[in-house]
Structure 1
Amino acid sequence: MFQRCLICTDFTDGLYRLVNFVPELAKGGLKKIIFLHSLPVWEQERIAGIDEQQIAQARERLCAALEQVPEGVEVKIETPSGRPTETIVRVINSEQIDVVVAGMPIRSLLEEKVFGSTSMELARQTSVPLMILRPQLVSTYTVEELSLRCQHLWRYLLIPYNGTETADYLIRQIKEYAVHRPANSLQQCHLLWVIEDKGRNETLTTHRLEEARQRLNALKQELEALDLKVNVEVRQGNFLQEIVKVAVDCDITAIAIAKEYSSNILNWTVSNVASEVLHRVWFPLLFFSPKK
């Protein structure tokens, strides 16, 4: 699905382990892979400086990525100094990155506001999709499990859909990337519409279910025209619970979500569905930001 990938690690998120799986990442279609660790700039007596020893240590931890590089694949190591978000955005722009792999722990919205999140700050500043991998999960994978995960990061996407402008924006992004996807990348999508029937009468709920099925079948035809295998499903219940059930039962590799799209203006405010998924779901997330 993507060809130019930036993998950001702070060495506490488990993502540094991916340096040992460059051949597997390449099997998923990647042609350029950059590993980045951003170091802080220290200040002493009003003079900014760079810790060369820390840079050397960071490069040493990442250098395994350069040892087994398949033919036709470019691998780089970047250890810039500065604020992480700023250094990441610079590399995104200079290297024409089309996906960023980043870690984001499970946190409540309040905890995120208190402690901050580089991933969410990054999403505010760039429209490049983020592949969010949970540090708690990546750190527990065995070598064999991580090898398979690296080969199939975007193979089978679960796409929650509810007919809103945000959902339509997400579909457009999936279609755009699917058109130019490399071989062995995105192969299958599962479109899911969850009808939350709180306080609805039976007739109205039945109408909503049928309307949802018709809309999903239309989207299925559009995506199948791009040589994708597509499943569609309409469920009733709590949207978060149903999303997780489908992800588990259908062997999903990642869940695709997008930001809020309101009144033809892409705002930063994350929609309720996306916010719940971001803060409560363990699955890898493919997070699409608005076009700037």
Structure 2
Amino acid sequence: MFQRALICTDFTDGMQRLAQFVPSLATGGFRSLIFFHNVAVDAEREIPSADPEQLAKPKQQLSELLRVDPAQVEVKVEVQMGRVSENIIKLAKQYQVDVIFLGTPTRTLLEEKIFGSNTMQLAEKTAVPLLILRPQLISTYTTAELELRCAHLFRYLLVPYDGSPGGKTLIEKIRRQVQNNPNSVLERVRLLWVIDENIRPEFYGDRPVQQAEEELSQVQAELAKLGLVVNTSVV
């Protein structure tokens, strides 16, 4: 489904392991991968400036992990200094990526409250989809398991949909990605409509379940034209 990915790592989130599975990611449809590490700015410096040694070490670490077949996929390593979210957004635009891979930060709730969340900042500032992977998940997979996961990342999607403008935009994005990518590996989609019982009934109408099913069936037919197997659920 996606062809160009920006994979971000701070070397504590386990995301750097994905550099060892470039061939599997290529099997999953990717044709361009950018691995990125951000070096924090030294707060004691009056004028922050890039330190060549600080940039060279993580770049070497990532480069040594890479397993690359140039015939399958283009791979680049980027190491920059500055604000994480700003650098990620800049690189996403520079390389015109389709998706951004992030690991959840290993922070306490207090640190998150004080310093903020890079993930939340990115979600507010970019329209590029974010794939967020938990460090506990990445670190526990064996090599064989992670190899298989990387090859099948986007074969089956669970897509939340409620008829809202945001939901329709998501469906349109999926449709465009499949149409524009001859190497798309997406095979199945499950559309999920959740009816919130806490919302006043008048907002849903007299037959909320039936209305949801009818709208989902229309979306189902639209996606099925792309050759996808589409299932629907209303809960």
Q: Which amino acid aligns with 1:156?
A: Y
The aligned counterpart of 1:158 is 158
Report deviation, 1:233: 1.6
Q: Which amino acid aligns with 1:81?
A: M
Query: CA 1:180 to 1:82, structure 2 compared with 1: closer, same or farther past 3 Å?
Result: same
Q: Which amino acid aligns with 1:27?
A: T
SS in 2 for 1:42: coil
1:121 and 1:222 map into 2 onto residues whose CA distance is 33
1:165 and 1:192 map into 2 onto residues whose CA distance is 16
Query: CA 1:121 to 1:179, structure 2 compared with 1: closer, same or farther past 3 Å?
Result: same
Give unpaired runs (5+ residues) of structure 2: none
Query: CA 1:190 to 1:67, structure 2 compared with 1: closer, same or farther past 3 Å?
Result: closer
1:112 and 1:45 map into 2 onto residues whose CA distance is 24
The aligned counterpart of 2:58 is 58
Report deviation, 1:70: 4.4
2:226 and 2:138 map into 1 onto residues whose CA distance is 31
Query: CA 1:162 to 1:150, structure 2 compared with 1: closer, same or farther past 3 Å?
Result: same
Contact 1:25/1:150 (8 A) holds in 2: yes
Q: 1:96-135 maps to which residues of 2 (within 5 A)? A: 96-104=96-104, 112-135=112-135
SS in 1 for 2:140: coil
1:188 aligns with 2:207: no
1:154 and 1:221 map into 2 onto residues whose CA distance is 20
When the two chains are superposed, the root-mean-square deviation of aligned CA atoms in Å is 2.7
Query: CA 1:205 to 1:153, structure 2 compared with 1: closer, same or farther past 3 Å?
Result: same
2:45 and 2:107 map into 1 onto residues whose CA distance is 37
1:127 and 1:186 map into 2 onto residues whose CA distance is 21
Query: CA 1:199 to 1:27, structure 2 compared with 1: closer, same or farther past 3 Å?
Result: closer
Report deviation, 1:82: 1.1
Report deviation, 1:38: 0.9
1:111 and 1:181 map into 2 onto residues whose CA distance is 40
Q: State the Cα deviation string for residues 223-244 of structure 1 (Å, max 9, x = none).
A: 0111111011222xxxxxxxxx
Q: 1:241-252 maps to which residues of 2 (within 5 A)? A: none
The aligned counterpart of 2:26 is 26
2:141 and 2:157 map into 1 onto residues whose CA distance is 20
Report deviation, 1:148: 1.1
Query: CA 1:110 to 1:176, structure 2 compared with 1: closer, same or farther past 3 Å?
Result: farther
Contact 1:2/1:99 (8 A) holds in 2: yes
Report deviation, 1:95: 1.4
SS in 1 for 2:159: strand
2:199 and 2:230 map into 1 onto residues whose CA distance is 32
Contact 1:22/1:65 (8 A) holds in 2: no
Query: TM-score w.r.t. structure 2 length?
Result: 0.88
1:141 aligns with 2:141: yes
1:228 and 1:181 map into 2 onto residues whose CA distance is 14
Query: CA 1:70 to 1:229, structure 2 compared with 1: closer, same or farther past 3 Å?
Result: farther
Q: State the Cα deviation string for residues 104-153 of structure 1 (Å, max 9, x = none).
A: 25999987444422122122222111111122211211111111111111
1:16 and 1:49 map into 2 onto residues whose CA distance is 25
- % identical equivalent positions: 46
SS in 2 for 1:25: helix
Q: Number of residues paired by the alignment?
A: 233
Contact 1:5/1:32 (8 A) holds in 2: yes
Query: TM-score w.r.t. structure 1 length?
Result: 0.72
Question: Which stretch shifts more, 79-88 or 216-225?
Answer: 79-88
